[in-house]
Amino acid sequence: MAESEWSPSSWASKPIKQDVVYDDAAGVQAALAKLQKLPPLVTTQEVDDLKKSLKNVALGKAFVLQGGDCAELFDYCNMDMIEAKVKLLLQMSLVLIWGANKPVVRIARIAGQFAKPRSSPMETIDGVEMPSFRGDNINGFDATPESRKPDPSRLVSAYFHSAATLNYMRASLSSGLADLHSPLDWGLGHVITPSIREKYTRIVNRVKDALRFMQTVGIDTDRGVETVDIYTSHEGLLLEYEQSLLRHLKNPDSPSTTHSYYATSSHFLWIGDRTRQLNGAHVEFFRGIANPIGIKIGPSMTPAELTSLLDIVNPAREIGKVTLISRYGAAKISQYLPAHIAAVQASGHIPVWQCDPMHGNTQATPSGVKTRHFSDILSELKQALEIHRAAGSFLGGMHLELTGEAVTECVGGAGGLTEEGLSERYTTFCDPRLNEKQALELAFLVAGFYRELDEELAEDESI
């Protein structure tokens, strides 16, 4: 059956989940009108460069590392926190390049990851019913009915906080923050576990040896080792906001007459597990944009739904246009992932497969504190790698909620954080994140798995 004609506002005629109801209709229109006049946050060339990189990931030629806060706050828009996240992604990607022996595409959950879906629009705090906190671009975290009232002016604030974050990120990278000539300048911060620090230093020394060789033979002549690309991403939850930042622009690599609709709020947007209905507003909006997109898939997704969804959002079957972000939980992944892989393989689509080992492994302590166990996160990742390998598929990346801060939100890891220690620095406003030490340790463990895999394949080929 042919799809109906798409337009930037055609999503508004579809059923919508996780929508926001504002009391101030005039304020909403004023905010959206302001956003429509502002310049794009990202360029079409950047978006298309990411699409090319993700095509390589889908074909097994590269690996994608995506990570950042569960929910950004406007207060996270400061020098120290931006640098901490960027440095952590750079450290992790260096380790993964060494382990997987492939280029790493870096995508941060940053400069726009403000809105969050919630299981209930209302909650009761100290006997008072009020709207749930939906993210800084919707309402305030303070537990008062007035703070929790959706405020349309926050949509414009979200744009400017995203712009400031992007500006500093780009300036830092172009000024040498990612220079591979001096990776040890990326201070390991709170990573004090000797085994992790030693492994990292060993990898860094190998990279420095390679760079010295390049300089000696005269091929170190450009800025290719002095900076990298870090792309931005967020869940495309607030469709009014996303529509207001749509721009009908020329495709950089197409004839001059070819234009497409680009979502210029970010390089990469994804649809959440709660908003991926085949006839829903979010799927309708996403099927019309030129950006690479992600789709979260969990246990409730049937194989038939998955292939139908791919047909809707990617009818041209662009390789790597869609990233499937699997999130089952360590106890369920073996039950669901094989059938999903088989269905996609039979459909002829070639997406990027990415593992999100965070969302399916959230649990609460006896006292009600949300946490995740490092062992469960690692288990889901390892199972995903093994299942894809057995199916002749390629797990192209991992999607993590992490921070460069020394938070205490996830239990376990080499630091041995216990449930009793969660209260030391539990600062998330939504879901628990890996701290710097845990995230870097995870990168080493995944890199080690790829190293072992390469050695096994080499042995098989020599037989």
pLDDT in tens, 33-82: 999 999 999 999 999 999 999 999 999 999 999 999 999 999 999 999 99
Residues with Cβ within 8 Å of residue 444, at least 6 apart in sequence: 95, 99, 196, 199, 200
pLDDT at 429: 84
Alpha carbons 322 and 463: distance in angstroms, whole number: 37
pLDDT 10s digits, 87-133: 899 888 888 988 888 999 999 999 999 999 988 999 999 999 999 99
Range 28-177+226-459 classified under CATH 3.40.50.10470: no
Q: What is the mean pLDDT of the chain?
A: 90
pLDDT at 352 over 80: yes
Model confidence at 293, pLDDT cuts 50, 70, 90, reads very high
Q: Is the pTM of this model over 0.85?
A: yes
Q: Give pLDDT, residue 322.
A: 98
Residue 198 annotated in ligand binding:
no
Q: Cα(412)–Cα(372) distance, rounded to whole angstroms?
A: 9
What are the helix (H) ranges across 218-332?
A: 239-244, 281-286, 303-313
Backbone angles phi, psi at 299, to 5 degrees: -60, -25
**Would the annotation count 70 as a binding residue?**
yes
- Is 296 labelled as part of a ligand binding site? yes
**Nearest 5 degrees, angle CA 319-CA 104-CA 381?**
85
d(CA 285, CA 244): 12
* Separation between Cα atoms, residue 448 and residue 441, nearest integer Å: 11
Task: Tell whether residue 355 is among the known ligand binding residues.
Answer: no
Determine if residue 431 is labeled as part of a ligand binding site: yes
